[in-house]
């Protein structure tokens, strides 16, 4: 494992929040160690969305052209299918940015790319197979993390918890958590493209079902929404019954559901919606899902995680690089990011309670297009609103943290 002994900043978690923060702090000259519990970026479920706001950040960092050379698909609109009608609910083509699309890139490629760029700065270290299991406390401050192998990673100035929605560090701190409740879980599986020429990314509202299809070029990534805790019940009915449910809900997929042969092709992804009352205490800051676990609704959690990392670097990196104390500044990160988190979580909760709960839990049947969806048909300009929320979010961050020198090329 890499040297974990001498760093100003230790970041636990090499997901979108942790890797972007690692890149930006190291770029500013802060000696930064990122700890990732897995040996590669492939293991955990990863959403594959790289939002227009993140692509703008790539542009601000000078990486965009190189980044877009990596294989990816581009999603320019989102569609809902209800009562046999297709309704475009988000149109990204009007966004005031360079890339008016969501880039669908396997997240391990995205994280690898960030790691590759971060390694250009001598202040950056990435330790894989390094799991944080607790916090080191010294004189009332957090001074780093304890590792699963019995070692320690000491942080002279700051520890960042970017260890996702099951964060062990926020629990160890402990930072008080406000659970907003999530009535759903997701069954996640792939299906090949069949005979249908349907290509749109979006969701289909069936009789008591909601299935999201993400167009991944030669296959569909599918998310089947189930009531929280109901996955065992679905599994108990058998894979054949599940195939029938999928085919009934989305008839276009009926000719390919036979490829689902075993339950190990269908992963259960547990959904949470929560946020910390306080994202920091002296020596420790939580960002991304560790500070506010996001629902998959809208596919925006990665965007928020990255925006948190940029805000944290904007507020903290320059003072840290100058050797100034950062504890008095930590609350500013939460102050900056709380509004966008509250707004998005409020929208996600509304979708949980008003749409998914009646549909999936109470098995409501939609045989006509509900009025809010009909408005998108009648007034196409309205499609710009969800596009803006998904693509850019609220209170967009820009790179303002300084850049120190890179390592000379080998």
Ligand X SMILES: Cc1cc2nc3c(=O)[nH]c(=O)nc-3n(C[C@H](O)[C@H](O)[C@H](O)COP(=O)(O)OP(=O)(O)OC[C@H]3O[C@@H](n4cnc5c(N)ncnc54)[C@H](O)[C@@H]3O)c2cc1C
d(Cα 191, Cα 223) in Å, to the nearest integer? 11
Residue 85: CB minimum distance to ligand X, A:
24
305 binds ligand X, rule: CB under 6 A = yes
Helix (H) or strand (E) holding 217: none
Contact window for ligand X (CB under 6 A) among 22-30, 57-65, 278-286, 290-298: 290-298
Residue with Cβ nearer ligand X (111 or 369) = 111
Q: Does 393 bind ligand X (CB under 6 A)?
A: no
The angle at the Cα of 32, spanning 43 to 24, to the nearest 5 degrees, equals 85
Encoded tokens for 254: 């009926």
Q: Which stretch binds ligand X (CB under 6 A): 242-250, 256-264, 285-293, 347-355?
A: 285-293
Is residue 271 at the binding interface for ligand X, with CB under 6 A as the rule?
A: yes
**Over the Cα atoms of the chain, what is R_g?**
22
* For ligand X, the closer CB: 290 or 316: 290
Q: How many residues bind ligand X (CB under 6 A)?
A: 35
Q: Restricting to residues 111-140, name those near ligand X by CB under 6 A.
A: 131-132
Q: Write the DSSP assignment of 26-57 as a string of letters.
A: HHTT--EEEE-SSSSSSSS----EE-HHHHHH
Beta carbons of 48 and 69 less than 8 angstroms apart: no
Could you tell me which residues come within 8 angstroms of residue 213 by beta carbon, excluding any fewer than 6 positions away?
A: 200, 201, 202, 203, 204, 220, 221, 222, 250, 253
Residue 255 beta carbon to ligand X: minimum distance, rounded to whole angstroms: 26
Q: Which residues contact 65 (CB under 8 A, 6 or more apart)?
A: none
Q: Select from 11-19, 61-69, 333-341, 398-406 the region that touches ligand X (CB under 6 A).
A: 11-19
Chosen residue from 11, 15, 80, 231 binding ligand X by CB under 6 A: 15
- Please tell me whether residue 340 binds ligand X under the rule CB under 6 A: no
Shortest distance (Å) from residue 405 CB to ligand X: 27
Phi, psi of 136 (to 5 degrees): -100, 130
The correct pick among 29, 283, 296, 393 for binding ligand X (CB under 6 A) is: 296
Can you tell me the distance from the alpha carbon of 314 to that of 288, in angstroms, rounded to the nearest whole number? 15
Binding residues among 141-170 for ligand X as defined by CB under 6 A: 162-165, 168
Q: Which helix (H) or strand (E) holds 285?
A: strand 284-286
Sole binder of ligand X in the list 7, 14, 245, 397 (CB under 6 A): 14
Q: Site residues (CB under 6 A) for ligand X?
A: 12-18, 35-38, 44, 47, 49, 131-132, 162-165, 168, 186, 269, 271, 288-290, 294, 296, 299-303, 305
């Amino acid at each position: 494992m890499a040297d974990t002994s001498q760093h100003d900043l230790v970041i636990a978690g090499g997901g979108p929040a942790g890797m972007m923060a690692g890149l930006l702090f190291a770029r500013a000259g802060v000696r930064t160690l990122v700890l990732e519990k897995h040996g590669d970026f492939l293991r955990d479920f990863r959403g594959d969305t790289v939002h227009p706001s993140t692509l703008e950040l790539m542009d601000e960092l000078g990486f965009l052209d190189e980044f877009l050379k990596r294989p990816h698909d581009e999603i320019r609109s989102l569609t809902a299918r209800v009562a046999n009608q297709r309704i475009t609910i988000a149109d990204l083509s009007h966004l005031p940015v360079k890339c008016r699309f969501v880039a669908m890139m396997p997240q391990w490629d995205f994280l690898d790319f960030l790691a590759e760029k971060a390694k250009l700065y001598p202040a950056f270290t990435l330790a894989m197979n390094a799991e944080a299991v607790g916090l080191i406390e010294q004189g009332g401050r957090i001074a780093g993390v304890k590792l699963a192998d019995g070692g320690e990673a000491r942080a002279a100035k700051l520890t960042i918890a970017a260890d996702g929605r099951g964060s062990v560090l926020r629990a160890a701190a402990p930072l008080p958590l406000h659970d907003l409740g999530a009535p759903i879980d997701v069954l996640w599986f792939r299906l090949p493209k069949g005979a249908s020429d349907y290509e749109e990314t979006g969701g289909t509202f069936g009789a008591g079902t909601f299935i999201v299809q993400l167009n991944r070029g030669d296959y569909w990534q599918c998310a089947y929404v189930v009531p929280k805790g109901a996955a065992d019940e679905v599994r108990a009915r058998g894979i054949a019954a599940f195939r029938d449910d999928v085919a009934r809900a989305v008839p276009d997929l009926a000719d390919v559901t036979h490829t689902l042969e075993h339950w190990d092709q269908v992963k259960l992804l547990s959904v949470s919606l929560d946020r910390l009352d306080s994202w920091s205490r002296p020596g420790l800051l939580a960002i991304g899902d560790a500070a506010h676990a996001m629902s998959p609704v809208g596919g925006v959690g990665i965007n928020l995680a990255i925006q948190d990392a940029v805000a944290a670097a904007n507020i903290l990196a320059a003072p840290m690089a100058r050797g100034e104390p950062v504890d008095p500044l930590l609350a500013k990160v939460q102050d900056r990011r709380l509004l966008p988190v509250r707004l998005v979580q409020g929208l996600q909760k509304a979708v949980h309670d008003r749409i998914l709960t009646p549909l999936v839990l109470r098995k409501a049947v939609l045989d006509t297009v509900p009025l809010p969806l009909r408005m998108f048909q009648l007034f196409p300009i309205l499609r710009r609103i969800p596009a803006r929320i998904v693509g850019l979010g609220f209170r967009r961050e820009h790179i303002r943290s300084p850049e120190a020198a890179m390592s000379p090329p080998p």
